Structure 1
Amino acid sequence: MEARRYIGGAERRARLALRQRLAAGARAAVPEQVAESLVALHGTDPATVYLAVGARLADPAKTVPETERALYEDRALVRMHGMRHTVFVFPAALTAVVHASTGPAVAARERSALLTHMAAAGAPDAAWLREVEESAPAALARRGQATAAEPARDEPRLREQFVYGAGKSYEGLHTVSTRLLKVLGAEGKVVRGRPLGSWTSSRFRWALAPEHEELDTAAAQAELLGRWLTACGPATEADLKWWTGWRMTEVRRALSAIGAETVELDEGTGFVARGDAEPAPGPGGPRAALLPAPDPTAMGWQHRDWYLAPELRPQLFDRSGNVGPTVWWDGRVIGGWARRPDGEIVWRLLDVDGVGREARAAVEEEAGRLRGWLGTARITPRFRTPLEKELVA
């Protein structure tokens, strides 16, 4: 039996710096290239998309106009629900794959939860909801893009409200339009559109989803997993299950379908895309980066010890497991950063092992790049972490 090739932490970090476009020589010309390299950009916090792109563009001054062009004019990038029912920004060509691989199962859970909550509140039944959801996309289409409230002017039933969690500490009044649009989003029928405010705003309009073909679930899962392994491999089965949110049987089926190759990692058995087990070239050039919360690189794997020392986690993660703004050098996390209300970019190194003058100078240069294109924009991460709060204070 042929021995598996061992890929150690140093080689994994070199791959990461190159393929995740953290090395200066690997930076992209346009946001579409960034999204293609990372497969998905985290989109729950709207600023994350821009900050993740800006950290990887050769000319960060283009970050805001070029990302807005890709999202809202060319629609080459699409903001939609994806793996683990998380909001991501995907290349438009990948939306059908993402939806077929993950959407139906998520949509079924969302629909069931909505019906359960409505029934508990004495709201209209499933037949009523089916009628409303058939008319809601038509109302949205007439407006092109709209907030959750605007289509209700054409379809008054969308204004129906019900009490969620009556008698509980989290009791609240929910509107059918808001909840139903989330279900339709999981079903691949609607997507997030242009925000009402600036690029940091979380008040999004909704729009009809781009037309796409309906794909076979297993084939779509194989396609998505293959793309992710090419960008992020090697990875363990646990990494893949965590990132996709799929059942382990689905992960293993997809690995078999793409002919993934097994390798040996410090965590045990890992997988790479077919033909990707050979040594990878080094990234070359400066390798410093200031990545946002929660950047797809920092959140890409369940097992993170090879790029993030365990003792750093309490300061860099919130209580729900979301990573805050991080400072990177040579493919590993060495600290965190924040932007103060006066616009100053401040950072602190937490892991200084092997971090010398060159690294500190490169980090300061990245802070200057970030400060330069942000201008007067205010950045407050949705996921606040201990170190970020301390730096801001």
Structure 2
Amino acid sequence: MRQISDDERRTRLGRRHALAEPVASVVAATEAMTCLHATEPASVHLAAFARSGATRAAVDAALYDDRSVVKQLAMRRTVFAFPAGLLPAVWGSAAARTAHLQRGQLARDVVKVGIADDGDAWVAEQTAAVHDLLRADGPRTTMQLRAALPALDARMTYAEGKSYGGEMPIAPRVLTTLAASGVIVRGENEGGWKSSRPRWTAVEDWLPDAPDRLPEREAYAALVLSWLRTFGPGTEDDIVWWLGATKAAVRHALQDVGAVEVGVAGGIGYLAPDDTGADEETAPWAALLPALDPTTMGWKGRDWYLGPHAAAIFDRNGNGGPTAWWCGRIVGGWRQELDGSVVVVPAEPLERAATRALAEQADRLTAWLDGDVVKSIYQSPLVRAGG
């Protein structure tokens, strides 16, 4: 069994994640990563810029004009931006699993709070009503859907008895179920690039030529193969965590794609069968990545690129803040001043070359942002503490 050292894993990361060797387009950057995190809308733009130098207009064009990159609720009930060609695999695997869980929970909750006696029937009725309205009248925002469909304006209590609990409208729950199901998508955004005000659109209107979803086992195999090409080598635990899937589904997928076992620190890792060769070292590289970037969040086991900085970079819920990278390792974070200028916040003493390269990246990102300030809610403890 071939052994892959942490140094080689960091080399592979730099090359496959388009950080050591940038790519030419938004689509190429997204394909390189399998998907980009889109929980915060600005993250898609920042992640694409870090890997391709794309302008904000180019990212918007990929999302809303070409529709070559599509936002989709999938793994762990998180919004991602996927290459359109990967959607049939996502719809048949991770998104379908999320949709099943969301639909069941919503059905139970509407009965619990007295909205309906038959939760399954209520969910089926309301999801069909939303889809029918979008097909008949075209895209609508959440507010417009609530105005047109009074049932969506009902409110329900969440986290009762908790300090963070309260009331919320039921519309987002219905739309989450539909979005995960691949029935509707986040279409054109009525807000700016840093906000999320999508016009919900029936998927057949947004992507009229999209192929049907793949059968479950085939879908998981396709998604795991893409993950291996982006993140391999990774362990079974890494893949199970990333997918939010069962071990059985992951094991079947690894078998179906012919994944190759290799040794990594702490156990057995897997590579795609067409990506088992050793990589030559890349030139030294630096990068500034947004909160929840797929490189930061790609593995469950992170010691080989995170080192001792877990408590500085990740909050108590496991969310990674904006990060500063040097040659395949997280060495700090970054923040913005009120004037929009980007400042690197080291988590450790840096060598002169790293300091200089990260300062250059900060200047480059400052120029690209052009005065815009991105206010992520996922700031790292390191940055919150002022470094």
Q: TM-score range by the shorter chain?
A: over 0.9
Corresponding position: 1:21 with 2:18? yes
Corresponding residue of 1:107: 99
Among residues 57, 62, 66, which one is paired with 1:65 in the alignment? 57
Corresponding residue of 1:96: 88
Alpha-carbon displacement from aligned partner over 1:46-88 (angstroms, at most 9, x marks no partner) = 111111111111xx3x420000000011111111111122110
Instruction: Return the alpha-carbon distance in structure 2 between the equivalents of residues 283 and 376 of structure 1.
Output: 33
Output the amino acid matched with 1:343. G
Output the amino acid matched with 2:298. G
Among residues 117, 122, 128, which one is paired with 2:122 in the alignment? 128
**Counterpart mapping for 1:284-295 below 5 A:** 284=283, 286-295=284-293
Output the amino acid matched with 1:362. A
> Aligned residues: percent identity?
38
Among residues 369, 374, 377, which one is paired with 2:364 in the alignment? 369
**Counterpart mapping for 1:1-393 below 5 A:** 4-23=1-20, 26-57=21-52, 60=53, 62-124=54-116, 125-126=118-119, 127-166=121-160, 168-209=162-203, 210=207, 211-284=210-283, 286-309=284-307, 311-352=308-349, 355-391=350-386
User: Secondary structure at the residue paired with 2:55?
Assistant: helix
Instruction: Return the alpha-carbon distance in structure 2 between the equivalents of residues 167 and 265 of structure 1.
Output: 45
Is the CA contact 1:31–1:63 (under 8 Å) kept in the aligned structure 2?
A: no
Is the CA contact 2:17–2:295 (under 8 Å) kept in the aligned structure 1?
A: yes
Is the CA contact 2:139–2:187 (under 8 Å) kept in the aligned structure 1?
A: yes
Gaps of 5+ in 1: none
Instruction: Return the alpha-carbon distance in structure 1 between the equivalents of residues 128 and 104 of structure 2.
Output: 17
Give 1:261 deviation, angstroms.
0.7
User: Secondary structure at the residue paired with 1:186?
Assistant: helix
TM-score with structure 1 setting the length: 0.92
Deviates more, 1:102-111 or 1:126-135: 126-135
Give 1:114 deviation, angstroms.
1.1
User: Secondary structure at the residue paired with 1:173?
Assistant: strand
Is the CA contact 2:335–2:344 (under 8 Å) kept in the aligned structure 1?
A: yes
Give 1:272 deviation, angstroms.
0.5
Give 1:143 deviation, angstroms.
4.5
Instruction: Return the alpha-carbon distance in structure 2 between the equivalents of residues 183 and 143 of structure 1.
Output: 21
Is the CA contact 1:149–1:159 (under 8 Å) kept in the aligned structure 2?
A: no
Please give the root-mean-square deviation of Cα atoms over the aligned residues, in Å. Answer: 1.7
Instruction: Return the alpha-carbon distance in structure 2 between the equivalents of residues 203 and 331 of structure 1.
Output: 35
Is the CA contact 2:17–2:33 (under 8 Å) kept in the aligned structure 1?
A: yes
Output the amino acid matched with 2:232. G
User: Secondary structure at the residue paired with 2:51?
Assistant: coil
Instruction: Return the alpha-carbon distance in structure 2 between the equivalents of residues 176 and 35 of structure 1.
Output: 32
Is the CA contact 2:322–2:379 (under 8 Å) kept in the aligned structure 1?
A: no
User: Secondary structure at the residue paired with 2:242?
Assistant: helix
Is the CA contact 2:332–2:347 (under 8 Å) kept in the aligned structure 1?
A: yes
Over 3 Å counting, the alpha-carbon distance change for 1:281 and 1:108 in structure 2 is same
Deviates more, 1:192-201 or 1:27-36: 192-201
Is the CA contact 1:41–1:52 (under 8 Å) kept in the aligned structure 2?
A: yes
Over 3 Å counting, the alpha-carbon distance change for 1:318 and 1:167 in structure 2 is closer
Instruction: Return the alpha-carbon distance in structure 2 between the equivalents of residues 168 and 323 of structure 1.
Output: 25
User: Secondary structure at the residue paired with 2:201?
Assistant: strand
TM-score with structure 2 setting the length: 0.93
Instruction: Return the alpha-carbon distance in structure 2 between the equivalents of residues 280 and 258 of structure 1.
Output: 22
Is the CA contact 2:45–2:59 (under 8 Å) kept in the aligned structure 1?
A: yes
Give 1:169 deviation, angstroms.
4.0
Over 3 Å counting, the alpha-carbon distance change for 1:166 and 1:232 in structure 2 is closer
Alpha-carbon displacement from aligned partner over 1:135-186 (angstroms, at most 9, x marks no partner) = 2112123443321121234333322333445555444333232211111011
User: Secondary structure at the residue paired with 1:299?
Assistant: coil
User: Secondary structure at the residue paired with 2:309?
Assistant: helix
Is the CA contact 2:185–2:202 (under 8 Å) kept in the aligned structure 1?
A: yes
User: Secondary structure at the residue paired with 1:145?
Assistant: coil
Is the CA contact 2:68–2:83 (under 8 Å) kept in the aligned structure 1?
A: yes
Deviates more, 1:149-158 or 1:367-376: 149-158
Alpha-carbon displacement from aligned partner over 1:27-50 (angstroms, at most 9, x marks no partner) = 122110000000010111111111
Deviates more, 1:179-188 or 1:145-154: 145-154
